[in-house]
């Protein structure tokens, strides 16, 4: 659905433009299919990966990478005084560190994290998360409360797992 104010593409059924905040409730759209309807109704808190790895901006890269590996995490949320200030992902390791990891592993993670990452609150529709990931090219979106304290992370994989678990008739054979 195209926002008439800023011409940003939004998910069908969105009430508010994800870019400019314009009211989209009056914009005519087709009926939502069952998956679209479910993704618009379900909130981030339903697909959130709880107990995220949270590290300090001053933690050495080597420590953060080790903890990510040990915990089976694809990313670490970076928080200062319990407020999200960055995200450090496997992609950061590969793109920013792989060529000279031995010399950089003692540096603070703040030097290689993505600062001030896009984030969403737990009551945000899953459609917004997918839109943010698609438009921004993100694999992970941090979930925060209204004080920007990290609550968890949602990835495309988490959203797909939520769809498979909660829209089971979608995957049944059609006659």
**110-169: per-residue pLDDT in tens?**
999 999 999 999 999 888 888 889 888 999 999 999 999 999 999 988 888 888 887 766
d(CA 117, CA 162): 23
Domain range for 8 is 1-31
Q: Per-residue confidence at 38, pLDDT binned at 50, 70, 90?
A: confident
Residue 79: which region, alpha, beta or left (left: phi > 0; alpha: psi -120 to 50)? beta
Q: Please check whether residue 172 lies inside any domain of the structure.
A: no
Does one domain contain both 67 and 138?
yes
- Look up the pTM and report it: 0.77
Query: What three-state secondary structure class fits 89?
Result: strand
Task: Please check whether residue 92 is in contact with residue 108, taking contact to mean a CB–CB distance below 8 angstroms.
Answer: no
Phi, psi of 152 (to 5 degrees): 175, -170
- The pLDDT value recorded for residue 2 is 79
Does one domain contain both 88 and 139?
yes
**45-98: per-residue pLDDT in tens?**
888 887 899 999 999 999 999 999 999 999 999 999 999 999 999 999 999 998
Q: How many domains does the chain have?
A: 2
Does one domain contain both 14 and 49?
no
Q: Please check whether residue 173 lies inside any domain of the structure.
A: no
């Amino acid at each position: 659905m195209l926002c008439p104010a800023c011409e940003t593409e939004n998910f069908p059924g969105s009430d508010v433009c994800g870019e400019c905040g314009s009211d989209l409730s009056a914009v005519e759209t087709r009926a939502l299919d069952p998956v679209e309807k479910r993704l618009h109704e379900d909130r981030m808190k339903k697909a959130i990966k709880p107990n995220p790895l949270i590290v300090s901006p001053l933690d050495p890269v080597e420590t953060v990478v080790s903890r990510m590996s040990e915990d089976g995490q694809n990313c670490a949320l970076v928080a200062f005084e319990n407020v999200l200030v960055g995200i450090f992902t496997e992609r950061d390791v590969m793109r920013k560190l792989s060529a000279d990891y031995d010399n950089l592993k003692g540096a603070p993670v703040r030097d290689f994290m993505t600062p001030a990452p896009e984030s969403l609150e737990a009551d945000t529709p899953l459609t917004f998360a997918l839109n943010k990931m698609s438009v921004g090219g993100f694999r992970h979106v941090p979930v925060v409360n209204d004080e920007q304290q990290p609550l968890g992370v949602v990835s495309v994989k988490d959203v797909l797992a939520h769809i498979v678990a909660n829209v089971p008739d979608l995957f049944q054979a059609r006659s």
